[in-house]
Amino acid sequence: MEFSRLSLFVLLASLPAVLCHRVTLIVDGTKTIAETDEDFICATLDWWPHDKCNYNICPWGYTSVLNLNLSHPFLAHVIQAFKNLRIRIGGSLQDQVEYDIGKLRFPCHPFRKDRSGLFGFSRSCLRMSRWDELNHLFSKTGARVTFGLNALYGRRQLRKGVWGGDWDSTNAYEFMKYTVAKGYPVDSWEFGNELSGSGIGASVGAEQYGKDLIALKGIIDQIYKNHDPKPSVIAPGGFFDQDWYARLLQVSGSGVIDFMTHHIYNLGPGSDPNLISKILDPNYLNRISDTFSKLKETIRKNGPWASPWVGESGGAYNSGGLGVSNTFVNSFWYLDQLGMAAKYSTKVYCRQSLIGGNYGLLNTTTFIPNPDYYSALLWNRLMGKGVLSIDIDSPSPLRSYAHCSRGREGVTLLLINFSNETNYKISVRNRMNLRLRIKESMDNRESIILRGLKKMVSFIGIGASEASLKREEYHLTPRDGFLQSQTMLLNGTPLDLTEDGKIPTLEPSLVGVNSPISIAPLSIAFVVLPNFDAPSCV
């Protein structure tokens, strides 16, 4: 769905004048409420072939694990910009992929249309020469790899959509042995894709799945016996079903599953004409918090040795929404869900996809970054592992998240203004300093005038030279104010690749630390407060 420029003009002309509203954010830096992994940002590489189509559009092109142009000059640059981008290899067709080593059950050929196959495609295979090429890219770019294994191998279909029998690990065993022998550092092995609960296309019962995970853990312990640390075991890579997930943890037992992955497509189908209104509705976006909360509680009760991951999330399913998922407006959903996931102790968040479909971080044909790529990169560079509590003094369409800054002292805020008419002027206060002031007031019975003066002290703490202090601001807006623009502006400057195909320098605006933060309607900002006194971030 796309708005015409004329429609946008009429819409904007009908809007009321921009309003200004002052709010106060109170950040508690004394303790973290959650913690992510260092490499929280993750992107997927999928198996979908070029003839995977939705809504009479085939948006995948040649972006499959099997045929992506790994030597494209932009590809290495966009991965290297993250330093250690986690890449998850997986997707709907992974449970139909064999590994071309040892004795195969089926001929090794590319995916082909097959009505009798899962999702309308035949089985396929990963040749070891291709695996070598992929690992050359990963090594060159510093990527951390999570590989999704075929969890249907050797099973039989009991009835439509339901599979049973033990997993045959022989093919995966040979593949993993080859991987170790070649020195390829797979960080984690994920077992299966969307087979949990009632499954998507296929399902496996939790009892059987748990037994197979114990077998997989034994294989990893054997093959990686001389490695420390060993790769993590990740499962089930499906949609959250509370009873199924709980039973999986109970059956597999302590020390088997390191991370529980779940998938999220909370915006509905990519063809939904209301996709943009969903993205810009914070109340609608809030609905997914129930899933985060229930998964966290399920793990606490049944398997506290594990931690949650979002293993795949593309917003809108069926390859995303054309003209929406690859444009500026999608970052309202994406960044809000990153912030929400982190608050619920999600360790890693994998975006569907790095490239491919309408929701790729990169353009399918040109490999040029879409707006969400820069949203992910800024999060990766600015937001640290520690998640902090943040309160706002009045309910509003202003979304706010606070983290310890990455790689340095201080705190970084993510501010998302969902309002199309309100400019927010934001003052930031430190809960720790507020507590100190209250205590001082009680102990010393200070005068009203002195207390009033103390309230003017900024969040930076005592003894700092306020005149010389600056904060960093990264304001994100769309080109020409068009929400469906594929060009994102950073502080008013278009984010375009350099002439040699490298990522542009992401320069902040430097602003006096005591001035209010101003965030325009329908815009997003990262704000780095380098002198915020946050003991939990040290």
- pLDDT category of residue 432 using cuts at 50, 70 and 90: confident
Q: Give pLDDT, residue 16.
A: 52
- pLDDT category of residue 433 using cuts at 50, 70 and 90: confident
Going by C-alpha positions, the residue among 478, 535, 501 that lies closest to residue 331 is 478
Residue 212 included in any domain: yes
What is the share, in percent, of the chain residues with pLDDT greater than 70? 90
- pLDDT category of residue 363 using cuts at 50, 70 and 90: very high
Residue linked to tokens 């309160």: 391
Residue 120 included in any domain: yes
Which residue is catalytic, options 194, 207, 466, 472? 194
Residue 445 included in any domain: no
- pLDDT category of residue 210 using cuts at 50, 70 and 90: very high
Q: Give pLDDT, residue 434.
A: 64
How does pLDDT run across 463-512, given as a tens digit for each residue? Answer: 345 557 999 999 999 999 999 999 999 999 999 999 999 999 999 999 99
What is the share, in percent, of the chain residues with pLDDT greater than 90? 87
Q: Which amino acid is present at 270?
A: G
Round to whole Å and give the CA distance between 514 and 178.
58
Q: Give pLDDT, residue 180.
A: 98
Which residue is catalytic, options 35, 190, 312, 473? 312
Structure tokens at 3: 């708005």
How does pLDDT run across 519-530, given as a tens digit for each residue? Answer: 999 999 999 999
Residue 30 included in any domain: no
Domain count of the chain?
1
Q: Give pLDDT, residue 360.
A: 98
Round to whole Å and give the CA distance between 268 and 320.
9
Q: Is the pLDDT of residue 212 over 60?
A: yes
Question: Rounded to 10 degrees, what is the CA torsion of 335, 338, 344, 345?
Answer: -150
- Peptide bond between residue 236 and the one before it cis (omega within 30 degrees of 0): yes
Q: What is the DSSP string of 258-327?
A: SEEEEEE-TTEETT-TTHHHHHT-HHHHHTTHHHHHHHHHHHHHH-TT-EEEEEEE-SEESS--TTTTTS
Q: What number is the average pLDDT over the span 126-155?
A: 98
312 is catalytic: yes
Residue 169 included in any domain: yes
Residue 131 included in any domain: yes
How does pLDDT run across 286-323, given as a tens digit for each residue? Answer: 999 999 999 999 999 999 999 999 999 999 999 999 99
Residue 210 included in any domain: yes
CATH number of 82's domain: 3.20.20.80
Round to whole Å and give the CA distance between 391 and 400.
8
Residue 429 included in any domain: no
How does pLDDT run across 384-431, given as a tens digit for each residue? Answer: 999 999 999 877 899 999 999 999 999 999 999 999 999 999 999 999
What are the backbone dihedrals phi and psi of residue 222, each rounded to the nearest 5 degrees, phi first? -75, -50
Q: Find the domain containing 347 and state its range.
A: 36-316+335-361
207 is catalytic: no
